[in-house]
Structure 1
Amino acid sequence: MKFWLIPVALLQITLPARGQQPDSLKPRPQNPSPMIENTRLHQRIPEQAYAGMQFEIATLLPRPVKVFLPENRRKARNFDLLVHFHGAGFPTQYAALHHRNALLTATIHLGSGSGVYGRAFEDSTIFPALLHVVHDSLQTQLANPITIKRIILSGFSAGYGAIRKILSTPQNYVRVDAILLLDGIHASYVPEYQVLAEGGEIQANELAAFVRFAREAAAENSSKKFLITHSEIFPGTFVSTTEATDFILQELDMKRRPVLEWGPLGMQQISESRQHHFAVLGFAGNTAPDHVDHLHALYFFVNELMK
């Protein structure tokens, strides 16, 4: 048997000073990662105007609410209403066209950051007023009485800020039948900016409304539905969608299970957790295209939520 002697100089390791951690262990903000990702397809739905009735409501919020009824549902008289926060109107139009039931959509895009969405619904009367105006406006357009059966709220990215604010008011909470969060549920670290790996904690009260809704949706006989989808993006300065979702699962004593499945538009699902009408679907990716995948897959996830 031969033994090889390796010069000690080649094994020399530079150790960090006492009390100092190696830089490689320090989490780096990604927000999302600037890396170019070429593995997944990142398919996109066509950005176009879809056939249907469209009008705007410009009296309640800083920017107009865009309402859409697909042409193939013009003769319907009973609708589910999807109120979507953050993003252009064409993904919600596409979702309405491909929904299994008659779906009316109202798209609200107010700009960047969850704060602009939360402040827009600081006045708790705005949300019921919005529902009332959408109903009456469509009824006038169709010249027939209509019924809005279920209220679905969806938020992509920063849009969760509006949903959190709406749920914080008891009279608005009870009006919401289903929630879809598309790679958008965050909170603050405590102390601020101190990530979990460095001993930070999650500001629990910022997720309390979602925990409550998830708990109710997870109950066997509940009529409420809740679906969260998330990527692997780690912002670094605030709680990631993965961390926020893990917090909710822990509060409900639910566990994730690993999966390897194709999702919509070439997305790659890597985890899930389900209990009755509450579900979490985790997807691979920490780049901007991975984030936008969730918005373009709105049509798929709304059907998944309401099945």
Structure 2
Amino acid sequence: MSVLPLLMGLSLLTAAPPEGERIDLADGAKLFIPAGFQAHGSKVNILVHLHGTPTVTEPALEAVGWNAVLVSFNRNGLSSAYSKPFSDPALFPKLIDEAVQRVAARDPGIPFEVSKVAVSSFSAGFGGVREILKTPASFDRVDAIILADSLYCGYAGDPAEKRVAPDLMSGFERFARESAEGRKALLVSHSAQVPPGYASTTETADFLIKAVGAASEPIEADWGDSWRQTRRAIKGRFEVLGFAGEGPDDHMRHLRRIAELWKKAPDPFAKGR
């Protein structure tokens, strides 16, 4: 895959940003507390997004209506730009804890704590998600994941045989199984891009569908603006949305319209879960 679409994910512009408070966190992460955010008592919902400019993800959070704060983590480059920092198992909990502390600073005296945590990624951001899932405490901490045309993988053995490497998929596979059984939630979207020499987002989606025993159903759904859904697979709280399109713009739609993908996911912050 060209680096250009990956860098574009960090530079998209939208309309005026939504109202709220923006705070710098550790390691270059950014915290956005929407103006309408209300903690449930002392509980704070957190959405962590990897690879995608806040000028897209902040309005998306407002559009989807989730009562959560947003932690954005962005790096230039391919998946290693995310896997390297998150290979430190302390980084993810540090970002979560710091986000809660910054919310708590607005209301001194209230012992705020984490309620639900969702992780979202676009494109190269999956490298960080993979590392997060390797740490048992972080795996347990995450309630939901949304992968927006984001899950790539190397091949096992001869690349010509196109066998998705199971060791690189182990964390995602376990999370998919937990989601299919209703304990977590996982939404995977994919385009029809075919990258050179490694598994596409379609192939990794196929891997997860097979792992959980779901069935892929062809559908024809027009999402508008030349975005056409071609298939769906669902089991429990695991869901795959497949889309046509092999070009860079087809890939970028999964970020530009990420609010629509978030809306399709089971609400990770719903009360009673």
Superposition TM-score tier, normalisation by shorter sequence: 0.7 to 0.9
Q: Does 1:141 pair with 2:106?
A: yes
Q: Distance in 2 between matches of 1:264 and 1:90?
A: 22
- Give 2:21's aligned amino acid: M
Q: Does the Cα contact within 8 Å between 1:154 and 1:180 map onto a contact in 2?
A: yes
The CA RMSD over aligned residues, in Å, is: 2.1
Aligned counterparts of 2:120 and 2:156: Cα–Cα separation in 1: 27
1:50 aligned partner: 18
- The match for 1:210 is 172
1:92 aligns with 57
The secondary structure found in structure 1 opposite 2:234 is strand
Q: Deviation of residue 48 (structure 1)? A: 3.8
Identity of aligned residues (%): 26
Structure 2 stretches lacking a partner, 5+ long: 5-11, 268-273
Residue deviations 1:231-271 (CA, integer Å, cap 9, x gap):
00000211100011111111222221000112366521110
Structure 1 counterpart SS, 2:141: coil
1:113 equivalent to 2:78? Answer yes
- Residue 172 of structure 2 corresponds to residue 172 of structure 1: no
Where does 1:115-264 land on structure 2 (aligned, <5 Å)?
115-143=80-108, 145=110, 146-191=112-157, 194-195=159-160, 199-219=161-181, 222-263=182-223
Whether the 8 Å contact between 2:44 and 2:100 is mirrored in structure 1 is: no
| Distance change (3 Å), C-alpha of 1:223 and 1:259 | same
Aligned residues: 257
Q: CA deviation at 1:127?
A: 1.2
**Does the C-alpha gap of structure 1 residues 214 and 106 become closer, same or farther in structure 2, counting only changes over 3 Å?**
same
Deviations 1:267-290 (A, max 9, x none): 211100001100000011011111
Equivalent residue number for residue 240 of structure 2: 280
Structure 1 unaligned regions, length at least 5: 1-30, 35-43
Q: Which residue of 1 aligns with 2:8?
A: none
Q: Which structure features the higher share of helix residues?
A: 2
Per-residue deviation, residues 53-86 of structure 1 (Å, max 9, x unmatched): 11111x3x2xx11111121226775442110001
Relative to 1, partners in 2 of residues 1:126 and 1:75: Cα closer, same or farther, differing over 3 Å?
Answer: closer
Q: Which amino acid aligns with 1:103?
A: A
